[in-house]
Amino acid sequence: MSDEFFSLRMRAAQGGKHQQGGRHISGAERIITEDKLEANINSLINRAREHSQGSADYINLTLEVLERANIEKISSLPITTITVDSYQVGRREAKELLMKLEIKEQVIKQAQHLLATGANPAGDNMRGAIVMDLDTGERLEPDYYRGLRASKMDYTREVKDRLINLLSQNNLNQSHLPEALALATKVVSYLDIVAELCWSDDSNYTAGYVASKKFGYCRFPALKPSGLDKGGRVFFVRLSTCLEKLVTYLEEKPVLISRLDERITSYNSVARFLEARGDN
């Protein structure tokens, strides 16, 4: 058996292919060795067929051998929970944190409005992320249905096991959170991406986060009301960025999280979090 790494990707939809109007159900990214392929392929198919968003009738699995020398190894972001007792407070607190990253208030409001109402032209969720100029709020993603999909990121097996242990010791979610953390870690490691705002499009999962190099992965248990399936991601970028390079990095560059940042903290407001860091 070889010790090559494979990128395994799953994208699933209901009502036909994504490009033909099928509704996006689920997506996942793995970077794994050959001995783990079969188990992961089976579990991703099951996930697409038994998803809380519905059972997929279109499942696309892509398998690609990666060149070892091309895999970038990085450390995970530290995790902070800002405890909020409603999604309204969550959105206000998330806005506060994004403003600390020098994103204009009006731009943040626009981003939150798009996620809350459905950012594609039909008023539904996009398949990938919005790319937004942090000064003007201009949307830079070429296709408002597809958006930009960060791809080819995962943890080494050892880091994934330790992360799951750490999350379980801290009573944190062990399914949505690790995948969101891997994506956010890859996304904000890009120089010109200052922050990512996300909340889940899963109707029974209300959590979301603001990720940045500066503050790490800051999660908010509520960023949307329960029962609603409107959600998605916004990457805030500097306009000076070369969009083509950014797209190539996010979609093509394999990133393996090979170091775990074990810091896990919790605060009852962004102000407290900033105060503890000496950032207020």
Residues that bind Mg ion (CB under 5 A): 202
209 is an interface residue for ligand PML by CB under 6 A: yes
- By a kind-dependent CB cut-off of 5 to 8 A, residue 90 interacts, out of Mg ion, ligand PML, none, with none
Q: Please state the closest distance from residue 13 (CB atom) to Mg ion, in A.
A: 13
- By a kind-dependent CB cut-off of 5 to 8 A, residue 173 interacts, out of ligand PML, Mg ion, none, with ligand PML
Q: 3-state DSSP: the chain helix, strand, coil percent, rounded to 5?
A: 35, 30, 40
229 is an interface residue for ligand PML by CB under 6 A: no
> Would you say 209 or 267 has its CB closer to ligand PML?
209
Q: Please state the closest distance from residue 179 (CB atom) to ligand PML, in A.
A: 7
213 is an interface residue for ligand PML by CB under 6 A: no
Distance of CA 147 to the CA centre of its chain: 13
Contacts of 150 by beta carbon, 8 Å cutoff, 6+ apart: 128, 129, 183, 186, 187, 250, 251
Compute the distance between CA of residue 44 and CA of residue 145 in angstroms, rounded to an integer. 24
Q: How far is CA 207 from CA 70, 81, 199, 202, 243, in A?
A: 33, 10, 6, 10, 29
Q: At what angle do helices 270-277 and 87-100 cross, to 10 degrees?
A: 30
Residue type, 95: K
Q: Which of 98, 13, 77, 34 is nearest to 255 (CA)?
A: 77
Give the residue, chosen from 202, 228, 243, 258, that forms a contact with ligand PML under the rule CB under 6 A: 202
Of 134-142, 159-167, 199-207, 266-274: span binding ligand PML (CB under 6 A)? 199-207
Q: DSSP label at 129?
A: B
173 is an interface residue for ligand PML by CB under 6 A: yes
192 is an interface residue for ligand PML by CB under 6 A: no
> Would you say 141 or 201 has its CB closer to Mg ion?
201
Residues lying near ligand PML in the complex (CB under 6 A) are found at: 173, 176-177, 180, 198, 200, 202, 205, 207-209, 219
